[in-house]
Each structure stands twice: as C-alpha cells, then as structure tokens.
Amino acid sequence: MASTAAGKQRIPKVAKVKNKAPAEVQITAEQLLREAKERELELLPPPPKQKITDEEELNDYKLRKRKGFEDNIRKNRTVISNWIKYAQWEESLKEIQRARSIYERALDVDHRNITLWLKYAEMEMKSRQVNHARNIWDRAITILPRVNQFWYKYTYMEEMLGNVAGCRQAFERWMEWEPDEQAWHSYINFELRYKEVDKARSIYERFVMVHPEVKNWIKYARFEERHGYIAHSRKVYERAVEFFGEVHVDENLFVAFAKFEETQKEFERVRVIYKYALDRIPKHQAQELFKFYTMFEKKFGDRRGIEDVIVSKRRFQYEEEVKANPHNYDAWFDYLRLVENDADPDTVRDVYERAIANIPPIQEKRHWKRYIYLWINYALYEELEVKDPEKTRQVYQASLDLIPHKKFTFAKIWLLYAQFEIRQKNLQGARKVMGTAIGKCPKNKLLKGYIELELQLREFDRCRKLYEKYLEFSPENCTTWIKFSELETILGDVERARAIFELAIGQPRLDMPEVLWKSYIDFEIEQEEFGNTRNLYKRLLQRTQHVKVWISYAKFELSIDSDERLQKCRQIYEEANKGMRNCEEKEERLMLLESWRDFEREFGSDSTMDRVRKLLPEKVKKRRKLTAEDGSDAGWEEYYDYIFPEDAANQPNLKLLAMAKMWKRQQVQEDQSPEKSPEAAEETASPPSGEAAAAPEILPENDSDRNTATETEQDKTCDDRDDSSSSESDSDDDDDDGKKKGEEDGKKEEGGDGDKE
C-alpha cells in the first residue's frame, strides 16, 4: 500500500476487465502444480557436507543430534518412529547400550507395538547378542502370543543357531495357543527336515483335532502314503469317514479315498467307496463325485458298471426334482421309467407308492389327467412285468375308489380294468365292472367301450340292450343311432334297422342331423328301395332347402338305371332352381346352376345347355358402408355380388345401366381410334335410345368359367345406397374381341326392338 503526506492510505486502482469471456485455453490448478514440479521451482540445494576432524567436534555433533532426538520425543512421546530413528542412529554409532536403553524406554511407552519389538530383536541379532535376542523374543511372545511373526522369527533364529531342542520347545509353546494351519505345517516341516516322522505323525494327530477339516485329513493321509505307510494312510481315511459321519460328509474326502485305493489297485474297494458316497451325499453336492466315478468305470469297469453310474446320476436328479415339486407328474413318469429298467420290483413298487401318494389338491379333472396315468402305469407294470394279477386288481380297485366319480370320472381306467378281467378269463367280473361304471357315471366313452366289448364277444342281445340304454342316456347322439342301425343291418334285420332310422329322424334334437339323413338314404339305396329313397329326399327337402340336398337328389336320380332318369334329374334341377330363387345365399344358387350346367354338358343337348347358360348370373363388384361396434362410420368395403337374369328381369334399372356402360366403352374405343371408317363411326356414334328396354344378353366366351357364366368380365361398382343411379364405368380391361362382340349383340337387340315397335 502506498501512503500520502497526510498519512491517508490510497487504494491502488484495479484495471477493469472489459472482455469477460472465458479464455480459449483453460489452465487448471492441477496443471499449474504439474508445471511447477517439472520445472523444479521449489527444489532446494542439498546442504553442504560436513567433515568431522577431531573428537571434540564429534562430541559436539553427537550432543546436538541427541538433543534434537530428545526434543522430538519430549514433544510427542507416542510417535514410535521418533524412538526407532533415535535408536537406529545410536546403533549406527555402535552405541548398543544406548540404543538398548532407547528401545526399553520406547517399550515403556507402547509395549504392544509389533514393529518396535521386531526392530529391537533385529538389532540384538545384528550385534550377535544371542541371549539378549532370545530374551527379547521370549518377552515378545509372552506379551503378544497371537502375533505369528514373533514365533516365526524366534523359531527361525533358534534353528539357524542349531538349537533344535530350543526350536522344538518354541514350537511346542506356540502349538499350545492352537494357531492357524500354516503354523502347524511349519512345525511338521521342521520335524521332517530332521527325519522325525513319528514326531510329525503325532503333530498331525493333534493338528486334525484342532482343525477338523476335510483337507487336513486328506493331507494327513497323503503324508502317510508319501512315507510308505499304506495301512496307516487307509486307516486315516477310514477314521476321517467315521469322524465326519453322514451329517457333515464331503465329496472331496471320498474322491481322495477312492483315488488312493485306485493307486493301490483295489478296484472293488474304489467301487464300494463311490457307491457308499453316492448313497449319502445330495445330488447337488456330488457333481465331482459322479465325474470321477464315471471316469473310473470307463477306465476299469465294464459296460454294466458304466450304465450303473449313469443310472445312479439320473436317479439322483429325479429325486431332487420330485422332492422340489412332488406334484410334477412328468418327473415321476421319467423316474419310474428309469427304475423299471434296472431296479427290482420292490423298489419300483416303492417309487410307485410314493408317486400315487401325491393326490392333486383340487378336484378338477384337468388336474387329475396326468395323475391318473400313474395308476394306469402301476397296474400295467404289475400285470405285464411282475405278472401278479391279484396285485393288479388291487391297484385298479384302489384307483377307482380314489376318483371322485360324482364330479368326474375316467372311462379309460374302467375299460382297462374290464379288459384286464377278460384277459384273466373273468368275464363276469368284467361285466360287473362295466355295469358299475355305467351305474355310477354314465358317459359316451364308457357306453361305446362296453358295446365294443360285447360285440367282440358276439353277444348281440346284450349289444341291443346296451344301445337302448345308450339312446335313453343320449337320444340326440346321431352316431349311436347309425351304429345301432348298422348292427341290425349286419344281423339281417332290415325292418328293425329302418324302424331305428325312423325313430332317429323323429327326435326333436339331434347333434348331426345331416349325417343321420345321409346314412338313412344310403341305407335305402343299399337295399335298392328307390321309392323309399325318393320319399326320404322329399321329406328332407320339406325340412331344408339346402343346395347339397338338391344336388344329391339329382345325382341319385341320375344313378338309377332307367329311361326317364335324365328327365327326372332335369326336373329336379328345375324345381331346385325355382325353390332357391328367394334364397339369400347366392353362392349356393350358383353352385346349383353349375352342377346343372355340368349335367347338361355331359348328358344334354345344345338347346338345354343354352337354357342353363342363360340362367347363370353375372358377377358384379359393389360397395357397402361399414359401421363399427360403437356405431361410428368405419368406411366402405368392396364385395362381389351375383345378378341372376331371372332377377334382373324385374329390375329394368340394371338393364339401363348395362346399356349405358356399353355406350361408354364404345365412346372410349372411338377416341382411341380416330381413323375409323365413317361406317363404323356411324354405328358407334348413336347412344342407346330409351326404346331399348332390355339389356343385351352377353354370352360367355368360355363356358367352363365358374364365376363368369354370363359375363364378359364386367365389374360393376355399385353403391348400396342407390344401386340404380350410382355406377362407375370401369377402365378398358376387356379385350377388343369382347367389345366387338358386345357391339354386335347390342345392334341385334336394337334391331329386334325396332321390329317389335
């Protein structure tokens, strides 16, 4: 700061920063520090070296240094590094006694400092003060017995000095504290260095008791094996298996035991060990065990042994699956299939009993569909594999007692039970079973199965009674009526079969009446009762006017070998066409006309063919408005409609539209060919007059075309709102031949109308 003569302080002016935008190159504090370090701006030159020339100067130097160390200690006694630096400085001057004194003073301050003890003992060992060092180690391990570093240093020093007894004594003192595993291994290795195998064995005995882990037992056994004590090694493994028991069993112990026996060529013992382990270890903990067992069997076993390994592994997997979810019936099926192939009957029965004990918790048929197959497989196993009929009968009876028949039943198990009794030549028992089934829970499958059973036994009277029961239970089932009638037909009782059909078609409700009528008609045709067949067709047509009935009726008349068959067939087609004029399904009417056309093409003349061709409809394209569910407008859709000539005669507007469309095409043709002859221009220039009351009939060029019988591929797009007034002229998608043909037909029609006028 600057001051004026009056003593007032003057604040220097600060330059205003005009441009406050950030600089293009930004410099960070880190960058500044890094540059300062690189340029060595703060490095001080080293102090000059001093040379001490006489004793007085040396004493003065020592005094100053000691005073500095003492001052540092006095300022902060707890900083052990100051004590260590002080003692090391004294040690560098060979002042061992002073250094010892400093270490002792430091230990009074912090006797639990590990570094302090280590530095103190190292100083004594460097100065070859063995007793002092031994004394320091004794004090250290007494005060801090859990610091393993002291024990390692102490035992190493004693061993280096050749004091084996003192080293062993130190180890023994250490082992009383039960240190970690590495300390025991150090003690064992120490004894082995001096060939004291018995002492090492005794140490191992104590070691596996202090640290009872599998890996330590394995190390003990391998120690015995390595030194040639095979019997001792086997005994160690056996003691380990006994020690851990079945609760804390480990696969690594058995793998090591098996490998040991494998090296001794005791293959049967290896196999026994693996099987013993697999029976006691859970599957998820025995992956390595399975792996080594499989490798062993591949090396030393036969095919049966390898299969046993795989089966054992699969069995463990299935056991875990069914234990996790007892109602997983698919897992039970796989498990049972496995044990059926390799296990004895008692084991298989045990698994079946465990499986069927898992009853579905809900009495709904969908939950029981898989479960019931356990019972079925159980019964079939007892019958086919074990060949125990009595046990099989008990299984069937137990399953039937378990199923809640009032809610649902399974016809399959009733039928299997009855078939089993027949195989046992117990026909009365089989009938009793089926009678019980029908009495408890009648259903279609049961009745059908019972009837098939009696048919195989050729008991036709029983079949009749069963059919009667069946029809009382389900009178609307057309298949049953048909089968009953077929049975009577086979037995030669035609009148009875006809009466059954009459009863059937007289039922108020049927599930498939068309099948029933067809079967009745086929029956009469087969009996060559053509009069009855015609009556059946007429009765059926009174109920329905379906096009397939008319076509079938016509084909029936055509199939009869008589002189009037063509006339009758044609008459049926005409009646069908008249009857279907009011039919809303125009496709069915078209189907009838096509069938009629095919008939006339094969059996008729040109005149009858032309007559049918004139009845074929014209295919037009229309539009209709769509409405969504909420009533809103959903747009328009195009669809195809059929216009029959008989219907078009009552709608003159359609004829007028057809004439207008033809005139429009002629105009387009005239524009495209301006160099036409005057005669052709005169023919095409005049539009259709109002006198043309009927549209020309346009014959198809290809009679085999189904949907375009009387059309020349003319697609009319009509609006349902006003079909008579709104029509769109299509583009020229017809060929020139079709256009010329339309013109000629139009001229003929005009000429004809003029003559009439």
- Say how many C-beta atoms besides its own lie within 10 A of residue 704's C-beta: 9
Please, which residues bridge with residue 643 across strands? Answer: 618
Q: What is the pLDDT of residue 120?
A: 92
Compute and round to an integer the Cα radius of gyration of the chain.
57
Contact between residue 315 and residue 336 where contact means Cβ atoms under 8 Å apart: no
Angstrom CA distances, 138 to 103, 167, 553, stand at 16, 12, 124
Q: What is the pLDDT of residue 628?
A: 82
| Measured distance between the N- and C-terminal CA atoms of the chain, rounded to whole angstroms | 134
Contact between residue 413 and residue 376 where contact means Cβ atoms under 8 Å apart: yes
Q: What is the pLDDT of residue 318?
A: 73
What pLDDT, in 10s, does the model give residues 256-315? 888 888 888 887 788 888 777 777 777 667 767 777 766 776 666 555 555 665 666 677
Give the residue extent of every domain in the chain. Answer: 497-618, 619-661
What pLDDT, in 10s, does the model give residues 37-61? 787 766 677 778 878 888 888 888 8
* DSSP three-state, residue 246: coil
Residue 367 CA from chain centroid, whole number: 21
Q: What is the pLDDT of residue 279?
A: 74
Which two structure tokens, joined as six digits, stand for 245? 């028991």
Q: What is the pLDDT of residue 428?
A: 77
* DSSP three-state, residue 636: strand
What pLDDT, in 10s, does the model give residues 669-711? 887 765 444 444 344 333 433 333 333 333 333 333 333 333 3
CA–CA distance, 280 with 245 (Å, rounded to integer): 10
Q: What percent of the chain has pLDDT over 70?
A: 71
Q: What is the pLDDT of residue 701?
A: 35
Task: Flag residues of the chain having pLDDT under 50.
Answer: 1-7, 675-757
- pTM summary value: 0.44
| CA quadruple 155, 161, 164, 169: dihedral, nearest 10 | -40
Q: What is the DSSP code string of 185-223?
A: HHHHHHHHHTT-HHHHHHHHHHHHHHS--HHHHHHHHHH
Q: What is the pLDDT of residue 457?
A: 67
Closest to 698 in 3D by CA, of 672, 716, 681, 686:
716
Closest to 359 in 3D by CA, of 323, 403, 321:
403
Strands (E), 284-430: none
Which two structure tokens, joined as six digits, stand for 289? 């065990």
DSSP state, residue 94: T
Closest to 294 in 3D by CA, of 283, 282, 305, 284:
305
Closest to 746 in 3D by CA, of 679, 677, 684:
684
Could you give the angle at the alpha carbon of 274 between the alpha carbons of 268 and 279, nearest 5°?
A: 125
Contact between residue 603 and residue 640 where contact means Cβ atoms under 8 Å apart: no
* DSSP three-state, residue 621: strand
Phi, psi of 346 (to 5 degrees): -65, -40
* Cα-Cα-Cα-Cα dihedral sign, residues 677, 682, 685, 688: negative
The runs of H, that is alpha helices, within 478-512 are 478-490, 494-505
CA–CA distance, 551 with 559 (Å, rounded to integer): 12
* DSSP three-state, residue 110: coil
Q: What is the DSSP code string of 405-437?
A: TTT---HHHHHHHHHHHHHTT-HHHHHHHHHHH
Contact between residue 592 and residue 551 where contact means Cβ atoms under 8 Å apart: yes
Closest to 618 in 3D by CA, of 734, 730, 693, 715:
715
Closest to 596 in 3D by CA, of 519, 711, 703, 714:
703
Write the class of the CATH domain 497-618: mainly alpha
Which two structure tokens, joined as six digits, stand for 361? 């918790």
Contact between residue 283 and residue 319 where contact means Cβ atoms under 8 Å apart: yes
CA–CA distance, 363 with 642 (Å, rounded to integer): 56
Q: What is the pLDDT of residue 5?
A: 45
Phi, psi of 544 (to 5 degrees): -145, 145
Q: What is the DSSP code string of 673-722?
A: -TT--HHHHHHHHSPPPTT--SPPP---S-TT-STTSS-SSPPPEEETT-
CA–CA distance, 171 with 156 (Å, rounded to integer): 10
Strands (E), 505-647: 618-627, 633-643
Element (H, E) at 389: helix 389-402
CA–CA distance, 655 with 657 (Å, rounded to integer): 5
Q: What is the pLDDT of residue 493?
A: 67
Contact between residue 601 and residue 612 where contact means Cβ atoms under 8 Å apart: no
Phi, psi of 21 (to 5 degrees): -70, 150
Residue 477: exposure state from Cβ atoms within 10 A (0-12, 13-18, ≥19):
buried
* Cα-Cα-Cα-Cα dihedral sign, residues 664, 667, 672, 677: positive
Closest to 587 in 3D by CA, of 557, 546, 539, 553:
546
CA–CA distance, 393 with 420 (Å, rounded to integer): 8
CA–CA distance, 361 with 616 (Å, rounded to integer): 65
- Say how many C-beta atoms besides its own lie within 10 A of residue 727's C-beta: 22
